[in-house]
Amino acid sequence: MTSITLPPVENNKVISKAITFKNHSTPWEITSLELPVASPDSIVQPDQILIKTAAVALNPVDILLRELTPRTLVGSSVKVAGADFSGTILQIGSSVETDLKVGDQVFGNLLNPFSQNNSFTEYILQKYNTFQVLQKVPEKVSLADAAGLGVVSNTSYQAFKGSKNLKGGSVLILGGGSSVGYFGIQWAK
Ligand SMILES: NC(=O)c1ccc[n+]([C@@H]2O[C@H](COP(=O)([O-])OP(=O)(O)OC[C@H]3O[C@@H](n4cnc5c(N)ncnc54)[C@H](OP(=O)(O)O)[C@@H]3O)[C@@H](O)[C@H]2O)c1
């Protein structure tokens, strides 16, 4: 059983260190985010999940995320970089429908050019439906290794999702030893 320690709350906010950027031409930097708390009894809003990040993984798409960020959203506020992460669930909002539980070790993928907050942050506080992937870390897989699984598993899944009439057929996967190809083989099975 994983013990849960909620982050300290000061002035109705949780402070979360994060890797952020200001606009398309500035480098990433470490800053302190102020995450608003829902109420005195709950950090999360009913539709949110709170995760303590254990590890994050770099992916080429993290650079694209900065390029794709609509300029109007960047403005004077900072934006959190990153997509892939692993961590432990600290709180789940009352209206979230999921089999996941508080204390579960999870990996996932947040990749939203329209959001101010993605994954490179000490505490991930997000609406449940903004996670592209949020799954339990398999037994015998470390949190560090699991942090790199989100984007590649989702990329492979997207390829299969868009394909029709595959049942009973054969699939040719080029580069089956690559990160995306490896997941493609699992999905095909
Ligand atoms: N990673 C992602 O999140 C992601 C997301 C979207 C799209 N993609 C795309 O998916 C594809 C695979 O990406 P990945 O991240 O899964 O790659 P990866 O894990 O870095 O693996 C690349 C694979 O390509 C092989 N390879 C490289 N150059 C080759 C060559 N000249 N001839 C034959 N094989 C060669 C490598 O073989 P060796 O190991 O033997 O060198 C390796 O198996 C790429 O086109 C990438 O742009 C990736």
Give, using CA atoms, the residue closest to atom 4 of ligand 1.
Answer: 152
CA 140 to the chain's CA centroid: 21
In short, whether 57's Cβ falls inside 6 Å of ligand 1 is: no
In short, whether 176's Cβ falls inside 6 Å of ligand 1 is: no
What is the pLDDT averaged over residues 114-125?
A: 88
- The pLDDT of residue 178 is above 60: yes
- The pLDDT of residue 74 is above 70: no
Contact present, 33 and 18 (Cβ < 8 Å): yes
The rounded Å distance from CA 177 to ligand 1 centre is 8
pLDDT number for residue 75: 56
Give, using CA atoms, the residue closest to atom 17 of ligand 1.
Answer: 178
The rounded Å distance from CA 75 to ligand 1 centre is 35
- Closest atom of ligand 1 relative to the 180 alpha carbon: 16
For 143-171, b/e burial (b = at least 16 CB within 10 A) is: beebbbbbbbbbbbbeeeeeeeeeeeeee
- The pLDDT of residue 72 is above 70: no
Give, using CA atoms, the residue closest to atom 2 of ligand 1.
Answer: 152
In short, whether 157's Cβ falls inside 6 Å of ligand 1 is: no
pLDDT number for residue 3: 74
- The pLDDT of residue 109 is above 60: yes
- The pLDDT of residue 165 is above 90: no
Query: Where do the H-state alpha helices sit in the chain?
Result: 61-68, 71-74, 143-146, 150-161, 179-188
What the chain holds in terms of domains, given with CATH numbers, is 9-143 (3.90.180.10), 149-189 (no CATH)
| Euclidean distance between CA atoms 125 and 50, whole angstroms | 5
Q: Of 96-110, 124-138, 161-175, where does mean pLDDT reach its minimum?
A: 161-175
Backbone angles phi, psi at 65, to 5 degrees: -55, -45
Nearest to residue 54, comparing CAs of 123, 128, 2, 3? 123
- The total of other beta-carbon atoms located within 10 Å of residue 45's CB is 18
